[in-house]
Structure 1
Amino acid sequence: METTASDFSTDVIEASRTTPVLVDFWAPWCGPCRQLGPTLEQLDAERDDWRLVKVNVDEHNDLARQYGVRGIPAVKLFVDGTVEAEFTGALPRHAIEKWLDEHLPSEEKETLRQAQAALRDGRREDAAELLAPLAESKEASPETRLLLASALVFDAPERALTLIDTLDVADPALRQQREAVQTLGRLLTRDPDLPDTDTAATYREALAALREEAFDDALSHFIDVVREDRSLDDDGARKACVALFTLLGPDHPVTKTHRRTFDTSLY
Protein backbone atom coordinates (compact mmCIF):
# COMPACT_ATOMS: atom_id res chain seq x y z
CA MET A 1 0.00 0.00 0.00
CA GLU A 2 1.05 3.59 -0.60
CA THR A 3 1.09 6.02 2.31
CA THR A 4 1.29 9.77 2.71
CA ALA A 5 2.93 12.07 5.21
CA SER A 6 -0.36 12.55 7.03
CA ASP A 7 -1.01 8.79 7.26
CA PHE A 8 2.56 7.64 7.92
CA SER A 9 2.14 7.65 11.69
CA THR A 10 -0.90 5.35 11.44
CA ASP A 11 0.21 3.18 8.51
CA VAL A 12 3.78 2.65 9.74
CA ILE A 13 4.58 3.82 13.27
CA GLU A 14 1.45 2.56 15.03
CA ALA A 15 0.96 -0.45 12.75
CA SER A 16 4.53 -1.64 13.43
CA ARG A 17 3.71 -2.06 17.11
CA THR A 18 1.54 -5.02 16.09
CA THR A 19 3.20 -6.28 12.89
CA PRO A 20 6.61 -5.24 11.49
CA VAL A 21 6.29 -2.80 8.58
CA LEU A 22 8.69 -2.70 5.64
CA VAL A 23 8.81 0.78 4.09
CA ASP A 24 10.00 1.12 0.50
CA PHE A 25 11.10 4.68 -0.31
CA TRP A 26 10.95 4.84 -4.13
CA ALA A 27 10.25 7.06 -7.17
CA PRO A 28 8.66 6.26 -10.55
CA TRP A 29 11.73 7.43 -12.51
CA CYS A 30 14.14 5.19 -10.53
CA GLY A 31 15.20 2.07 -12.46
CA PRO A 32 16.42 0.07 -9.44
CA CYS A 33 13.15 0.97 -7.67
CA ARG A 34 11.19 -0.60 -10.53
CA GLN A 35 13.35 -3.73 -10.18
CA LEU A 36 12.98 -4.00 -6.41
CA GLY A 37 9.31 -3.06 -6.10
CA PRO A 38 7.77 -6.20 -7.67
CA THR A 39 10.05 -8.44 -5.58
CA LEU A 40 8.95 -6.77 -2.36
CA GLU A 41 5.31 -6.92 -3.42
CA GLN A 42 5.59 -10.64 -4.21
CA LEU A 43 7.23 -11.36 -0.85
CA ASP A 44 4.57 -9.29 0.88
CA ALA A 45 1.85 -11.39 -0.74
CA GLU A 46 3.53 -14.64 0.32
CA ARG A 47 4.27 -13.79 3.97
CA ASP A 48 2.17 -12.64 6.88
CA ASP A 49 4.92 -11.80 9.39
CA TRP A 50 5.35 -8.27 7.98
CA ARG A 51 3.53 -5.82 5.72
CA LEU A 52 4.74 -3.54 2.93
CA VAL A 53 4.18 0.21 2.76
CA LYS A 54 5.53 2.34 -0.09
CA VAL A 55 6.50 6.01 0.01
CA ASN A 56 6.90 8.00 -3.20
CA VAL A 57 9.79 10.34 -2.36
CA ASP A 58 8.85 12.78 -5.15
CA GLU A 59 5.51 13.34 -3.46
CA HIS A 60 6.73 13.06 0.13
CA ASN A 61 10.28 14.35 0.21
CA ASP A 62 9.74 15.51 3.79
CA LEU A 63 9.39 11.90 4.93
CA ALA A 64 12.52 10.94 3.01
CA ARG A 65 14.49 13.71 4.72
CA GLN A 66 13.04 12.82 8.13
CA TYR A 67 14.30 9.23 7.83
CA GLY A 68 17.66 10.05 6.29
CA VAL A 69 17.00 8.73 2.78
CA ARG A 70 19.94 9.75 0.60
CA GLY A 71 19.57 7.20 -2.18
CA ILE A 72 16.72 5.10 -3.52
CA PRO A 73 15.38 2.52 -3.36
CA ALA A 74 15.76 2.73 0.41
CA VAL A 75 14.10 0.02 2.50
CA LYS A 76 13.56 0.41 6.24
CA LEU A 77 12.08 -2.15 8.62
CA PHE A 78 9.98 -0.62 11.40
CA VAL A 79 9.41 -2.63 14.59
CA ASP A 80 7.60 -1.17 17.60
CA GLY A 81 7.63 2.27 16.05
CA THR A 82 11.34 2.56 15.27
CA VAL A 83 13.68 1.56 12.45
CA GLU A 84 15.11 -1.87 13.26
CA ALA A 85 17.16 -2.35 10.07
CA GLU A 86 17.57 -0.93 6.58
CA PHE A 87 19.27 -1.37 3.22
CA THR A 88 19.70 0.68 0.05
CA GLY A 89 19.62 -0.60 -3.52
CA ALA A 90 17.87 -3.35 -5.46
CA LEU A 91 18.87 -6.57 -3.71
CA PRO A 92 17.97 -9.95 -5.25
CA ARG A 93 15.12 -11.94 -3.70
CA HIS A 94 17.34 -14.43 -1.84
CA ALA A 95 19.32 -11.59 -0.23
CA ILE A 96 16.12 -9.84 0.87
CA GLU A 97 14.77 -13.07 2.39
CA LYS A 98 18.03 -13.58 4.29
CA TRP A 99 17.93 -9.96 5.49
CA LEU A 100 14.33 -10.36 6.65
CA ASP A 101 15.07 -13.59 8.52
CA GLU A 102 17.98 -11.89 10.26
CA HIS A 103 16.09 -8.79 11.38
CA LEU A 104 12.44 -9.74 11.82
CA PRO A 105 11.49 -10.40 15.45
CA SER A 106 10.64 -13.98 16.38
CA GLU A 107 9.83 -16.06 19.44
CA GLU A 108 13.26 -17.70 19.28
CA LYS A 109 15.07 -14.34 19.14
CA GLU A 110 13.12 -13.05 22.12
CA THR A 111 13.85 -16.23 24.06
CA LEU A 112 17.54 -15.92 23.22
CA ARG A 113 17.53 -12.32 24.43
CA GLN A 114 15.95 -13.32 27.74
CA ALA A 115 18.32 -16.27 28.15
CA GLN A 116 21.37 -14.11 27.44
CA ALA A 117 20.21 -11.65 30.08
CA ALA A 118 19.72 -14.51 32.55
CA LEU A 119 23.24 -15.81 31.91
CA ARG A 120 24.73 -12.34 32.38
CA ASP A 121 22.99 -12.23 35.76
CA GLY A 122 24.32 -15.67 36.69
CA ARG A 123 20.87 -17.30 36.49
CA ARG A 124 21.93 -20.40 34.57
CA GLU A 125 18.92 -22.50 35.57
CA ASP A 126 16.53 -19.83 34.27
CA ALA A 127 18.44 -19.63 30.99
CA ALA A 128 18.41 -23.42 30.57
CA GLU A 129 14.67 -23.56 31.29
CA LEU A 130 14.02 -20.96 28.60
CA LEU A 131 16.24 -22.59 26.00
CA ALA A 132 15.56 -26.31 26.46
CA PRO A 133 12.21 -26.41 24.57
CA LEU A 134 13.69 -24.53 21.61
CA ALA A 135 16.88 -26.59 21.48
CA GLU A 136 14.91 -29.83 21.18
CA SER A 137 13.54 -28.73 17.81
CA LYS A 138 15.32 -29.84 14.64
CA GLU A 139 15.05 -26.25 13.43
CA ALA A 140 16.82 -24.84 16.47
CA SER A 141 19.57 -22.42 15.51
CA PRO A 142 23.21 -23.14 16.36
CA GLU A 143 23.14 -20.09 18.63
CA THR A 144 20.26 -21.58 20.64
CA ARG A 145 22.07 -24.89 21.16
CA LEU A 146 25.32 -23.14 22.00
CA LEU A 147 23.66 -20.86 24.51
CA LEU A 148 21.99 -23.83 26.18
CA ALA A 149 25.34 -25.63 26.33
CA SER A 150 26.84 -22.53 27.97
CA ALA A 151 24.07 -22.57 30.57
CA LEU A 152 24.59 -26.29 31.29
CA VAL A 153 28.36 -26.70 31.14
CA PHE A 154 29.00 -26.37 34.90
CA ASP A 155 25.99 -28.43 36.02
CA ALA A 156 25.78 -30.99 33.21
CA PRO A 157 29.07 -30.84 31.27
CA GLU A 158 28.53 -34.10 29.38
CA ARG A 159 25.20 -32.89 28.04
CA ALA A 160 26.77 -29.55 27.13
CA LEU A 161 29.47 -31.32 25.13
CA THR A 162 26.85 -33.43 23.35
CA LEU A 163 24.88 -30.33 22.35
CA ILE A 164 27.86 -28.81 20.56
CA ASP A 165 29.48 -32.02 19.31
CA THR A 166 28.50 -31.46 15.67
CA LEU A 167 27.69 -27.76 15.89
CA ASP A 168 28.87 -25.73 12.90
CA VAL A 169 29.14 -21.99 13.55
CA ALA A 170 30.72 -19.38 11.30
CA ASP A 171 30.54 -16.28 13.48
CA PRO A 172 33.92 -15.73 15.25
CA ALA A 173 32.27 -14.82 18.57
CA LEU A 174 30.15 -17.99 18.48
CA ARG A 175 33.22 -20.08 17.59
CA GLN A 176 35.02 -18.66 20.63
CA GLN A 177 32.01 -19.47 22.80
CA ARG A 178 31.89 -23.03 21.45
CA GLU A 179 35.60 -23.49 22.19
CA ALA A 180 35.04 -22.19 25.73
CA VAL A 181 32.27 -24.73 26.34
CA GLN A 182 34.45 -27.51 24.89
CA THR A 183 37.40 -26.54 27.08
CA LEU A 184 35.43 -26.34 30.31
CA GLY A 185 33.36 -29.42 29.51
CA ARG A 186 36.49 -31.49 29.02
CA LEU A 187 38.15 -30.15 32.17
CA LEU A 188 35.05 -30.98 34.19
CA THR A 189 34.59 -34.51 32.83
CA ARG A 190 38.11 -35.93 32.85
CA ASP A 191 40.90 -36.61 35.33
CA PRO A 192 44.14 -35.57 33.62
CA ASP A 193 47.34 -37.58 33.99
CA LEU A 194 49.64 -35.13 35.76
CA PRO A 195 53.21 -35.37 37.09
CA ASP A 196 53.99 -35.27 40.80
CA THR A 197 55.07 -31.61 40.98
CA ASP A 198 54.06 -28.54 42.95
CA THR A 199 52.71 -26.91 39.78
CA ALA A 200 50.58 -29.95 39.05
CA ALA A 201 49.24 -29.80 42.60
CA THR A 202 48.24 -26.17 42.01
CA TYR A 203 46.56 -27.23 38.76
CA ARG A 204 44.56 -29.89 40.66
CA GLU A 205 43.48 -27.22 43.15
CA ALA A 206 42.34 -25.05 40.24
CA LEU A 207 40.29 -27.93 38.79
CA ALA A 208 38.72 -28.63 42.17
CA ALA A 209 37.78 -24.96 42.55
CA LEU A 210 36.35 -24.97 39.04
CA ARG A 211 34.13 -27.96 39.87
CA GLU A 212 32.93 -26.09 42.97
CA GLU A 213 32.29 -23.02 40.79
CA ALA A 214 34.71 -21.05 42.95
CA PHE A 215 35.80 -19.10 39.89
CA ASP A 216 37.91 -16.56 41.75
CA ASP A 217 40.06 -19.27 43.34
CA ALA A 218 40.15 -21.30 40.14
CA LEU A 219 41.48 -18.39 38.10
CA SER A 220 44.07 -17.50 40.74
CA HIS A 221 45.43 -21.05 40.65
CA PHE A 222 45.23 -21.36 36.87
CA ILE A 223 47.18 -18.11 36.46
CA ASP A 224 49.86 -19.41 38.85
CA VAL A 225 50.19 -22.48 36.62
CA VAL A 226 50.40 -20.32 33.48
CA ARG A 227 53.36 -18.51 35.05
CA GLU A 228 55.13 -21.75 36.02
CA ASP A 229 54.43 -24.31 33.30
CA ARG A 230 52.39 -23.54 30.18
CA SER A 231 52.95 -27.07 28.84
CA LEU A 232 51.08 -28.75 31.71
CA ASP A 233 48.01 -30.62 30.45
CA ASP A 234 48.54 -29.25 26.94
CA ASP A 235 48.42 -25.61 28.05
CA GLY A 236 45.28 -26.44 30.00
CA ALA A 237 45.58 -23.60 32.51
CA ARG A 238 45.71 -20.87 29.86
CA LYS A 239 42.82 -22.46 27.93
CA ALA A 240 40.78 -22.66 31.12
CA CYS A 241 41.32 -18.97 31.86
CA VAL A 242 40.30 -17.92 28.35
CA ALA A 243 37.23 -20.17 28.51
CA LEU A 244 36.13 -18.75 31.87
CA PHE A 245 36.61 -15.16 30.73
CA THR A 246 34.58 -15.92 27.59
CA LEU A 247 31.61 -17.50 29.36
CA LEU A 248 31.57 -15.12 32.34
CA GLY A 249 31.85 -12.10 30.06
CA PRO A 250 34.02 -8.97 30.27
CA ASP A 251 31.80 -7.25 32.83
CA HIS A 252 31.74 -10.06 35.37
CA PRO A 253 33.53 -9.07 38.62
CA VAL A 254 35.77 -12.15 38.47
CA THR A 255 36.83 -11.31 34.92
CA LYS A 256 37.61 -7.73 35.90
CA THR A 257 39.65 -8.95 38.87
CA HIS A 258 41.84 -11.43 36.98
CA ARG A 259 41.96 -10.44 33.30
CA ARG A 260 44.85 -7.98 33.54
CA THR A 261 46.89 -10.35 35.75
CA PHE A 262 46.28 -13.16 33.28
CA ASP A 263 47.37 -11.04 30.33
CA THR A 264 50.63 -10.07 32.02
CA SER A 265 51.30 -13.69 33.01
CA LEU A 266 51.62 -14.66 29.35
CA TYR A 267 54.82 -12.63 28.91
Structure 2
Amino acid sequence: MDYEVRDFTRDVLQASAQQPVLVDFWAGWCAPCKMLGPILEQLAAAAQGRWTLVKVDVDAHPDLAQQHQVRGIPAVKLFVDGQVVDEFTGALPQSALEAWLAERIPSPAARQVAQARAELAHGRRAAACELLQPALAAEPDSREARGLLALAVVLDDPQQARELATGIREDCDSHAAASAAQCIADLLTLDAEALPAGRGQAHHRAAIEALRAGDIEAALGHLIACVMDDRAYRDDGARKACVALFELLGAEHPQLRDWRRRLQRALH
Protein backbone atom coordinates (compact mmCIF):
# COMPACT_ATOMS: atom_id res chain seq x y z
CA MET A 1 0.00 0.00 0.00
CA ASP A 2 1.19 3.48 -0.88
CA TYR A 3 1.19 5.74 2.17
CA GLU A 4 2.96 8.71 0.56
CA VAL A 5 1.28 12.07 0.98
CA ARG A 6 -0.59 13.51 -1.99
CA ASP A 7 -2.32 16.52 -0.44
CA PHE A 8 -1.34 17.26 3.16
CA THR A 9 -4.43 19.34 3.86
CA ARG A 10 -6.75 16.59 2.64
CA ASP A 11 -4.73 13.53 3.71
CA VAL A 12 -3.79 14.76 7.18
CA LEU A 13 -5.49 17.93 8.42
CA GLN A 14 -8.98 17.17 7.13
CA ALA A 15 -8.74 13.39 7.51
CA SER A 16 -7.68 13.69 11.17
CA ALA A 17 -11.10 15.12 11.97
CA GLN A 18 -12.48 11.64 11.31
CA GLN A 19 -9.72 9.47 12.78
CA PRO A 20 -6.16 9.94 14.08
CA VAL A 21 -3.50 10.30 11.39
CA LEU A 22 0.12 9.34 12.09
CA VAL A 23 2.58 11.23 9.89
CA ASP A 24 6.05 9.81 9.29
CA PHE A 25 8.54 12.42 8.06
CA TRP A 26 11.35 10.42 6.44
CA ALA A 27 14.02 10.37 3.72
CA GLY A 28 15.49 7.66 1.52
CA TRP A 29 19.04 8.25 2.77
CA CYS A 30 18.05 7.95 6.47
CA ALA A 31 18.95 4.53 7.94
CA PRO A 32 16.68 4.83 11.03
CA CYS A 33 13.84 5.82 8.69
CA LYS A 34 14.33 2.57 6.79
CA MET A 35 14.06 0.67 10.08
CA LEU A 36 11.00 2.49 11.36
CA GLY A 37 9.03 2.81 8.13
CA PRO A 38 8.15 -0.88 7.63
CA ILE A 39 7.11 -1.23 11.28
CA LEU A 40 4.76 1.73 10.96
CA GLU A 41 3.32 0.31 7.75
CA GLN A 42 2.78 -3.09 9.39
CA LEU A 43 1.02 -1.53 12.38
CA ALA A 44 -1.09 0.71 10.15
CA ALA A 45 -2.26 -2.31 8.15
CA ALA A 46 -3.18 -4.10 11.38
CA ALA A 47 -4.97 -1.09 12.88
CA GLN A 48 -8.18 -1.90 10.98
CA GLY A 49 -9.00 1.73 10.42
CA ARG A 50 -8.50 2.98 13.99
CA TRP A 51 -5.81 5.29 12.62
CA THR A 52 -4.15 5.95 9.29
CA LEU A 53 -0.54 6.43 8.24
CA VAL A 54 0.75 9.17 5.94
CA LYS A 55 4.42 9.32 4.93
CA VAL A 56 6.14 12.57 3.97
CA ASP A 57 9.49 12.42 2.15
CA VAL A 58 11.25 15.53 3.47
CA ASP A 59 13.42 15.76 0.34
CA ALA A 60 10.34 15.82 -1.88
CA HIS A 61 8.40 18.12 0.48
CA PRO A 62 10.88 20.39 2.29
CA ASP A 63 8.11 22.99 2.72
CA LEU A 64 6.04 20.57 4.82
CA ALA A 65 9.08 19.61 6.91
CA GLN A 66 9.79 23.28 7.59
CA GLN A 67 6.16 24.15 8.25
CA HIS A 68 5.87 21.35 10.85
CA GLN A 69 9.21 22.11 12.49
CA VAL A 70 10.92 18.84 11.64
CA ARG A 71 14.41 19.10 13.11
CA GLY A 72 15.51 15.48 12.74
CA ILE A 73 14.20 12.33 11.10
CA PRO A 74 12.43 10.06 11.36
CA ALA A 75 9.94 12.44 12.94
CA VAL A 76 6.55 10.95 13.78
CA LYS A 77 3.64 13.24 14.58
CA LEU A 78 0.12 12.23 15.59
CA PHE A 79 -2.63 14.50 14.27
CA VAL A 80 -6.15 14.70 15.71
CA ASP A 81 -8.63 17.33 14.49
CA GLY A 82 -5.91 18.97 12.46
CA GLN A 83 -3.52 19.44 15.37
CA VAL A 84 -0.41 17.58 16.54
CA VAL A 85 -1.31 15.90 19.83
CA ASP A 86 1.95 14.00 20.32
CA GLU A 87 5.19 13.20 18.53
CA PHE A 88 8.62 11.61 18.78
CA THR A 89 11.87 11.70 16.85
CA GLY A 90 14.04 8.70 16.05
CA ALA A 91 13.35 5.01 15.52
CA LEU A 92 11.57 3.08 18.28
CA PRO A 93 11.54 -0.70 18.60
CA GLN A 94 8.22 -2.27 17.69
CA SER A 95 7.21 -3.04 21.29
CA ALA A 96 7.81 0.55 22.37
CA LEU A 97 5.95 1.87 19.34
CA GLU A 98 2.98 -0.41 20.04
CA ALA A 99 2.86 0.84 23.64
CA TRP A 100 3.08 4.46 22.47
CA LEU A 101 0.21 3.96 20.04
CA ALA A 102 -1.95 2.03 22.52
CA GLU A 103 -1.70 4.86 25.03
CA ARG A 104 -2.53 7.57 22.52
CA ILE A 105 -4.96 5.72 20.24
CA PRO A 106 -6.91 3.35 22.48
CA SER A 107 -8.61 0.32 20.99
CA PRO A 108 -12.43 0.21 20.81
CA ALA A 109 -12.35 -2.12 23.82
CA ALA A 110 -10.19 0.31 25.78
CA ARG A 111 -12.63 3.12 24.98
CA GLN A 112 -15.49 0.94 26.22
CA VAL A 113 -13.61 0.31 29.46
CA ALA A 114 -13.06 4.04 29.94
CA GLN A 115 -16.77 4.70 29.36
CA ALA A 116 -17.67 1.90 31.79
CA ARG A 117 -15.46 3.44 34.46
CA ALA A 118 -17.41 6.68 34.09
CA GLU A 119 -20.70 4.78 34.37
CA LEU A 120 -19.54 3.05 37.56
CA ALA A 121 -18.53 6.39 39.03
CA HIS A 122 -22.22 7.32 38.83
CA GLY A 123 -23.37 3.94 40.13
CA ARG A 124 -24.79 2.87 36.77
CA ARG A 125 -23.72 -0.77 37.00
CA ALA A 126 -26.03 -2.17 34.30
CA ALA A 127 -24.74 0.34 31.74
CA ALA A 128 -21.16 -0.52 32.75
CA CYS A 129 -21.87 -4.23 32.22
CA GLU A 130 -23.14 -3.56 28.70
CA LEU A 131 -19.83 -1.91 27.88
CA LEU A 132 -17.49 -4.24 29.76
CA GLN A 133 -18.79 -7.58 28.53
CA PRO A 134 -18.00 -6.94 24.85
CA ALA A 135 -14.76 -5.21 25.82
CA LEU A 136 -13.63 -8.27 27.75
CA ALA A 137 -14.73 -10.56 24.92
CA ALA A 138 -12.58 -8.54 22.52
CA GLU A 139 -9.60 -8.35 24.89
CA PRO A 140 -9.81 -11.30 27.33
CA ASP A 141 -6.50 -10.40 28.98
CA SER A 142 -7.69 -6.94 30.03
CA ARG A 143 -7.26 -6.88 33.80
CA GLU A 144 -8.84 -3.45 33.94
CA ALA A 145 -12.02 -4.73 32.28
CA ARG A 146 -12.10 -7.77 34.57
CA GLY A 147 -11.74 -5.73 37.75
CA LEU A 148 -14.43 -3.23 36.76
CA LEU A 149 -16.81 -5.96 35.60
CA ALA A 150 -16.34 -7.75 38.92
CA LEU A 151 -17.65 -4.67 40.71
CA ALA A 152 -20.47 -4.19 38.22
CA VAL A 153 -21.86 -7.73 38.67
CA VAL A 154 -21.09 -8.40 42.33
CA LEU A 155 -24.61 -7.81 43.67
CA ASP A 156 -26.13 -10.12 41.06
CA ASP A 157 -23.45 -12.80 40.88
CA PRO A 158 -20.94 -12.76 43.74
CA GLN A 159 -19.22 -15.93 42.54
CA GLN A 160 -18.60 -14.54 39.06
CA ALA A 161 -17.35 -11.33 40.64
CA ARG A 162 -14.92 -13.28 42.80
CA GLU A 163 -13.58 -15.15 39.76
CA LEU A 164 -13.21 -11.96 37.71
CA ALA A 165 -11.41 -10.16 40.53
CA THR A 166 -8.89 -12.92 41.16
CA GLY A 167 -5.32 -11.97 40.29
CA ILE A 168 -5.87 -8.21 39.81
CA ARG A 169 -2.61 -6.77 41.14
CA GLU A 170 -2.10 -3.45 42.90
CA ASP A 171 -0.45 -1.92 39.82
CA CYS A 172 -3.66 -2.32 37.81
CA ASP A 173 -6.02 0.65 37.48
CA SER A 174 -8.98 -1.51 38.49
CA HIS A 175 -7.37 -2.93 41.64
CA ALA A 176 -9.62 -0.87 43.93
CA ALA A 177 -12.72 -2.07 42.10
CA ALA A 178 -11.56 -5.69 42.19
CA SER A 179 -10.73 -5.52 45.90
CA ALA A 180 -14.13 -4.00 46.64
CA ALA A 181 -15.84 -6.71 44.60
CA GLN A 182 -13.98 -9.42 46.53
CA CYS A 183 -14.99 -7.90 49.87
CA ILE A 184 -18.64 -7.50 48.86
CA ALA A 185 -18.78 -11.02 47.40
CA ASP A 186 -17.42 -12.39 50.66
CA LEU A 187 -20.07 -10.49 52.62
CA LEU A 188 -22.90 -11.64 50.36
CA THR A 189 -21.92 -15.29 50.63
CA LEU A 190 -21.54 -15.34 54.41
CA ASP A 191 -23.87 -17.60 56.37
CA ALA A 192 -25.70 -14.89 58.27
CA GLU A 193 -26.98 -17.40 60.81
CA ALA A 194 -23.48 -18.61 61.62
CA LEU A 195 -21.96 -15.22 62.40
CA PRO A 196 -19.88 -15.18 65.57
CA ALA A 197 -21.47 -13.87 68.74
CA GLY A 198 -20.78 -10.26 69.67
CA ARG A 199 -22.28 -6.78 69.80
CA GLY A 200 -21.80 -6.44 66.05
CA GLN A 201 -23.65 -9.62 65.14
CA ALA A 202 -27.13 -8.14 64.68
CA HIS A 203 -25.87 -5.16 62.69
CA HIS A 204 -23.74 -7.41 60.48
CA ARG A 205 -26.66 -9.75 59.83
CA ALA A 206 -28.94 -6.83 58.94
CA ALA A 207 -26.30 -5.42 56.59
CA ILE A 208 -26.05 -8.73 54.75
CA GLU A 209 -29.81 -8.95 54.36
CA ALA A 210 -30.00 -5.37 53.06
CA LEU A 211 -27.19 -5.96 50.61
CA ARG A 212 -28.81 -9.13 49.28
CA ALA A 213 -31.92 -7.04 48.68
CA GLY A 214 -29.81 -4.52 46.75
CA ASP A 215 -30.18 -1.74 49.32
CA ILE A 216 -26.61 -0.45 49.55
CA GLU A 217 -27.40 2.55 51.73
CA ALA A 218 -29.33 0.49 54.29
CA ALA A 219 -26.39 -1.91 54.39
CA LEU A 220 -24.04 1.00 55.02
CA GLY A 221 -26.20 2.24 57.87
CA HIS A 222 -26.02 -1.14 59.63
CA LEU A 223 -22.29 -1.48 59.00
CA ILE A 224 -21.54 1.95 60.44
CA ALA A 225 -23.63 1.04 63.49
CA CYS A 226 -21.50 -2.10 63.79
CA VAL A 227 -18.32 0.02 63.65
CA MET A 228 -19.65 2.18 66.46
CA ASP A 229 -20.72 -0.75 68.66
CA ASP A 230 -17.96 -3.26 68.02
CA ARG A 231 -15.29 -2.18 65.54
CA ALA A 232 -13.21 -5.33 66.12
CA TYR A 233 -16.09 -7.60 65.13
CA ARG A 234 -14.99 -9.99 62.37
CA ASP A 235 -11.53 -8.43 62.21
CA ASP A 236 -12.74 -4.89 61.49
CA GLY A 237 -15.00 -6.37 58.83
CA ALA A 238 -17.67 -3.67 58.99
CA ARG A 239 -15.24 -0.83 58.25
CA LYS A 240 -13.68 -2.81 55.39
CA ALA A 241 -17.12 -3.51 53.95
CA CYS A 242 -18.01 0.20 54.16
CA VAL A 243 -14.94 1.10 52.11
CA ALA A 244 -15.91 -1.54 49.52
CA LEU A 245 -19.47 -0.24 49.34
CA PHE A 246 -18.23 3.30 48.84
CA GLU A 247 -16.49 1.99 45.72
CA LEU A 248 -19.73 0.32 44.63
CA LEU A 249 -21.76 3.51 45.14
CA GLY A 250 -19.38 5.35 42.81
CA ALA A 251 -17.21 8.42 43.24
CA GLU A 252 -19.95 10.70 41.85
CA HIS A 253 -22.73 9.42 44.11
CA PRO A 254 -24.41 12.48 45.68
CA GLN A 255 -24.39 10.97 49.19
CA LEU A 256 -20.89 9.49 49.12
CA ARG A 257 -19.28 12.40 50.99
CA ASP A 258 -21.90 12.18 53.72
CA TRP A 259 -21.39 8.43 54.10
CA ARG A 260 -17.64 8.94 54.38
CA ARG A 261 -18.16 11.55 57.10
CA ARG A 262 -20.48 9.22 59.00
CA LEU A 263 -17.88 6.46 58.91
CA GLN A 264 -15.16 8.84 60.09
CA ARG A 265 -17.30 9.92 63.02
CA ALA A 266 -17.95 6.28 63.91
CA LEU A 267 -14.20 5.59 63.93
CA HIS A 268 -13.46 8.35 66.46
Question: Which bracket does the TM-score occupy, shorter chain normalised?
Answer: 0.7 to 0.9
Moved more, 40-49 or 189-198: 189-198
Q: Could you say if the C-alpha distance between residues 161 and 80 of structure 1 is closer, same or farther in structure 2, counting changes exceeding 3 Å?
A: farther
Moved more, 119-128 or 230-239: 119-128
Q: Which residue of 2 aligns with 1:23?
A: 23
Q: Could you say if the C-alpha distance between residues 26 and 46 of structure 1 is closer, same or farther in structure 2, counting changes exceeding 3 Å?
A: closer
Q: Could you say if the C-alpha distance between residues 98 and 213 of structure 1 is closer, same or farther in structure 2, counting changes exceeding 3 Å?
A: same
Q: Which residue of 2 aligns with 1:143?
A: 144
Q: Could you say if the C-alpha distance between residues 173 and 94 of structure 1 is closer, same or farther in structure 2, counting changes exceeding 3 Å?
A: closer
Q: Which residue of 2 aligns with 1:250?
A: 251
Q: Which residue of 1 aligns with 2:33?
A: 37
After superposition, the C-alpha distances for 1:33-56 in whole angstroms (9 at most, x for unaligned) are x56533431123213223144485
Q: Which residue of 2 aligns with 1:217?
A: 218
Q: Could you say if the C-alpha distance between residues 190 and 28 of structure 1 is closer, same or farther in structure 2, counting changes exceeding 3 Å?
A: same
User: Hey, what's the Cα distance between the residues in 1 that align with 2:264 and 2:75?
Assistant: 46
Q: Which residue of 2 aligns with 1:173?
A: 173
Equivalent residue letter for 2:205: R
Contact kept in structure 2, 1:44 and 1:51, CA below 8 Å: yes
Q: Which residue of 1 aligns with 2:195?
A: 194
For residue 151 of structure 1, give the secondary structure of its aligned residue in structure 2: helix
Contact kept in structure 2, 1:11 and 1:53, CA below 8 Å: no
Moved more, 140-149 or 236-245: 140-149
Q: Which residue of 2 aligns with 1:13?
A: 13
Q: Could you say if the C-alpha distance between residues 195 and 168 of structure 1 is closer, same or farther in structure 2, counting changes exceeding 3 Å?
A: closer
Q: Which residue of 2 aligns with 1:96?
A: 97
After superposition, the C-alpha distances for 1:160-211 in whole angstroms (9 at most, x for unaligned) are 112223x344535322221111111111112254344332212222222222
User: Hey, what's the Cα distance between the residues in 2 that align with 1:54 and 1:171?
Assistant: 39
For residue 173 of structure 1, give the secondary structure of its aligned residue in structure 2: coil
Contact kept in structure 2, 1:194 and 1:200, CA below 8 Å: yes
Contact kept in structure 1, 2:122 and 2:251, CA below 8 Å: no
TM-score, length-scaled by structure 2: 0.77
Cα distance, 1:239 vs. partner? 1.2
Q: Could you say if the C-alpha distance between residues 228 and 95 of structure 1 is closer, same or farther in structure 2, counting changes exceeding 3 Å?
A: same
User: Hey, what's the Cα distance between the residues in 1 that align with 2:170 and 2:54?
Assistant: 32
Residues 1:154 and 2:155 are matched in the alignment: yes
User: Hey, what's the Cα distance between the residues in 1 that align with 2:56 and 2:265?
Assistant: 57
Residues 1:227 and 2:228 are matched in the alignment: yes
TM-score, length-scaled by structure 1: 0.77
Cα distance, 1:9 vs. partner? 3.2
Runs of 5+ in structure 2 lacking a partner?
none
Q: Could you say if the C-alpha distance between residues 62 and 242 of structure 1 is closer, same or farther in structure 2, counting changes exceeding 3 Å?
A: same
Equivalent residue letter for 1:208: E
* Structural RMSD (CA): 3.4
Residues 1:51 and 2:47 are matched in the alignment: no
Count of matched residue pairs:
256
Q: Alignment partner for residue 68 of structure 2, among 50, 53, 63?
A: 63
Equivalent residue letter for 2:68: L
User: Hey, what's the Cα distance between the residues in 1 that align with 2:27 and 2:139?
Assistant: 43
Contact kept in structure 1, 2:150 and 2:177, CA below 8 Å: no
User: Hey, what's the Cα distance between the residues in 2 that align with 1:22 and 1:117?
Assistant: 28
Q: Which residue of 1 aligns with 2:185?
A: 185
Equivalent residue letter for 1:44: L
Equivalent residue letter for 1:51: L
For residue 127 of structure 2, give the secondary structure of its aligned residue in structure 1: helix
For residue 253 of structure 1, give the secondary structure of its aligned residue in structure 2: coil
Q: Could you say if the C-alpha distance between residues 254 and 26 of structure 1 is closer, same or farther in structure 2, counting changes exceeding 3 Å?
A: farther
Q: Could you say if the C-alpha distance between residues 170 and 81 of structure 1 is closer, same or farther in structure 2, counting changes exceeding 3 Å?
A: farther
Residues 1:263 and 2:264 are matched in the alignment: yes
